[in-house]
């Protein structure tokens, strides 16, 4: 039997019971659709995370205090000054303190936001432009001037429809003068609004707001991407000297670069994507079992037909290939519908639900191939059973 005749005969048999064929393929449709959508959401999230981490800064290196019980933050301005004086691979550097959920009052309005104490290099490190006016200067830092720069969200909440530059705000109980507004940056990798922020000079924040000589973190930008590892090693060495740590002693700080942050986030997202795709893939196995069940029923229903075909010269392999091709075509048709449904759902999620999705051609091809493999695997037993029938027994079957 030629391939074209085999496909024609298989399609005729499938279309003879349209509803049963559709219900048989439903498990494959759902399985393929689920796998593609889950992977598309995972890959879209990974791409979004990479984009947002890249937006965190240019060649970023971060120094953080240790976390966990019985740990002490030993980062101080002395560490910042030593890094600035001794480092040779850093293009920009800032210490940072943060006050979360801090009440800020502007005119008759108030807003709870995050207040950051930073140095002028902060904008260079974060690659964050100004929307209006200017950032505070080194002179403001040294003079501990009470000036503030607002994120666009805070500016809109405190001064709706007004120009906030030159206006007075109160952070906790301390008055500040607004000297600029940051350009909008949107949400970060965790979904938090980066524009919901107020920035003040670091020394002013330490002396007026936190009243704590410790700083929350140190952020730096390497001279270029190729020197990230050398810069990180140098920062670690300088801080160990600053903290008088002996060789082999556990560091009381952690140093991470942008590549490590990206790798950690990507690995977490990839693990979750793989897990979701594996769970969705279970429905493909269930769909395959459904195909095998229906094909076994089909063999029983068509026993006399098989006997007649064998008696007029059909070989066992012709019977085998016909039933196997029916199983594979059912799986492939289900896979095709599943792919089309997945593309539609991915479009709807991206367009109307604003969920990042990225449909990969490789995933589509793999899903189609897996659907065909399911058809072959679960269709083999019914096809072999049909091919092994004895013609006389088959003709006598009632």
- Residue 56: what pLDDT? 62
140 and 231: one domain? Answer: yes
18 and 162: one domain? Answer: no
pLDDT one-digit tens code per residue, 37-67 = 888 888 887 777 767 666 666 588 999 998 8
Would you place residue 339 in the very low, low, confident or very high pLDDT band (cuts 50, 70, 90)? Answer: very high
Q: What is the domain extent for residue 214? A: 66-252
242 and 281: one domain? Answer: no
Average pLDDT over the chain, rounded to an integer: 85
164 pLDDT exceeds 90?
yes
262 pLDDT exceeds 80?
no
Q: Is residue 59 part of a domain?
A: no
70 and 172: one domain? Answer: yes
Q: Is residue 241 part of a domain?
A: yes
165 and 200: one domain? Answer: yes
The last residue of a domain, from among 197, 222, 252: 252
Average pLDDT over residues 213-238: 90
156 pLDDT exceeds 90?
yes
95 and 212: one domain? Answer: yes
The last residue of a domain, from among 252, 275, 303: 252
Would you place residue 301 in the very low, low, confident or very high pLDDT band (cuts 50, 70, 90)? Answer: confident
The last residue of a domain, from among 230, 252, 274: 252
Would you place residue 135 in the very low, low, confident or very high pLDDT band (cuts 50, 70, 90)? Answer: very high
11 and 90: one domain? Answer: no
Q: Is residue 56 part of a domain?
A: no
185 and 120: one domain? Answer: yes
Looking at mean pLDDT, say which of 9-23, 68-82, 230-244, 321-335 comes out highest.
230-244
297 pLDDT exceeds 70?
yes
225 and 268: one domain? Answer: no
- Residue 233: what pLDDT? 92
23 and 86: one domain? Answer: no
- Residue 189: what pLDDT? 58
- Residue 76: what pLDDT? 92
| Domain count along the chain | 2
220 and 81: one domain? Answer: yes
Average pLDDT over residues 212-238: 89
pLDDT one-digit tens code per residue, 349-369 = 888 887 888 888 888 888 888
Query: Three-state secondary structure along the chain?
Result: CCHHHHHHHHHHHHHHCHHHHHHHHHHHHHHHHHHHHHHHHHHHHHHHHHHHHHCCCCCEEEEECCCCCCCCCCCEHHHHHHHHHHCCCEEEEEEEEEEEEEEEEECCEEEEEEEEEECCCHHHHHCCCEEEECCCCHHHHHHCCCEEEECHHHHHHHCCCCCCCCCEEEECCEEEEEEEEECCCCECCCCCECCCEEEEEHHHHHHHHHCCCECCEEEEEECCHHHHHHHHHHHHHHHHHHCCCCCCCCCCCEEEEHHHHHHHHHHHHHHHHHHHHHHHHHHHHHHHHHHHHHHHHHHHHCHHHHHHHHHCCCCHHHHHHHHHHHHHHHHHHHHHHHHHHHHHHHHHHHHCCCCCCCCCHHHHHHHHHHHHHHHHHHHHHHHHHHHCCCHHHHHHCC
- Residue 328: what pLDDT? 86
- Residue 58: what pLDDT? 59
246 and 270: one domain? Answer: no
């Amino acid at each position: 039997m030629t391939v074209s005749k085999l496909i024609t005969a298989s399609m005729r048999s499938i279309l003879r019971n349209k509803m049963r064929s559709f219900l048989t393929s439903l498990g494959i449709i759902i399985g393929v659709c689920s796998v593609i959508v889950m992977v598309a959401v995972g890959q879209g999230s990974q791409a979004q995370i990479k984009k947002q981490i890249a937006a965190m800064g240019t060649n970023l290196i971060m120094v953080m205090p240790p976390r966990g019980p019985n740990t002490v933050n030993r980062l101080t301005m002395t560490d910042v000054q030593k890094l600035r004086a001794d480092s040779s691979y850093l293009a920009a550097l800032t210490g940072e303190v943060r006050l979360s959920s801090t009440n800020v009052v502007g005119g008759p309005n108030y807003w709870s936001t995050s207040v950051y104490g930073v140095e002028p290099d902060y904008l260079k490190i974060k690659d964050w432009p100004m929307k209006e006016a200017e950032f505070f200067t080194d002179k403001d830092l040294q003079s501990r001037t009470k000036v503030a720069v607002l994120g666009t969200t805070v500016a809109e909440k405190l001064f709706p429809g007004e120009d906030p530059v030159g206006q007075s705000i109160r952070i906790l109980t301390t008055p500040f003068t607004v000297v600029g507004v940051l350009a909008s940056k949107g949400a970060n990798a965790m979904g938090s609004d980066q524009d919901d922020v107020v920035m003040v000079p670091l020394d002013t924040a330490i002396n007026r707001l936190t009243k704590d000589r410790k700083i929350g973190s140190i952020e730096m930008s390497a001279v270029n991407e190729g020197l990230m590892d050398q810069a990180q090693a140098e920062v670690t060495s300088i801080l160990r000297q600053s903290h008088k740590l002996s060789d082999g002693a556990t560091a009381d700080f952690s140093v991470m670069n942008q590549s490590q942050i990206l790798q950690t986030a990507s690995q977490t997202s990839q693990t979750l994507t793989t897990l979701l795709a594996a769970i969705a893939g279970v429905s493909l196995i269930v769909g395959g079992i459904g195909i095998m069940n229906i094909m076994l029923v089909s063999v029983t229903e068509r026993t006399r037909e098989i006997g007649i075909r064998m008696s007029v010269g059909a070989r066992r392999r012709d019977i085998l290939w016909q039933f196997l091709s029916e199983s594979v075509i059912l799986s492939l048709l289900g896979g095709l519908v599943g792919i089309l449904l997945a593309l539609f759902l991915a479009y709807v999620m991206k367009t109307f639900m604003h969920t990042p999705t990225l449909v990969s051609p490789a995933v589509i091809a793999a899903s189609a191939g897996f659907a065909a493999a399911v058809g072959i695997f679960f269709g083999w037993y019914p096809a072999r059973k049909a091919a092994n029938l004895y013609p006389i027994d088959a003709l006598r079957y009632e």
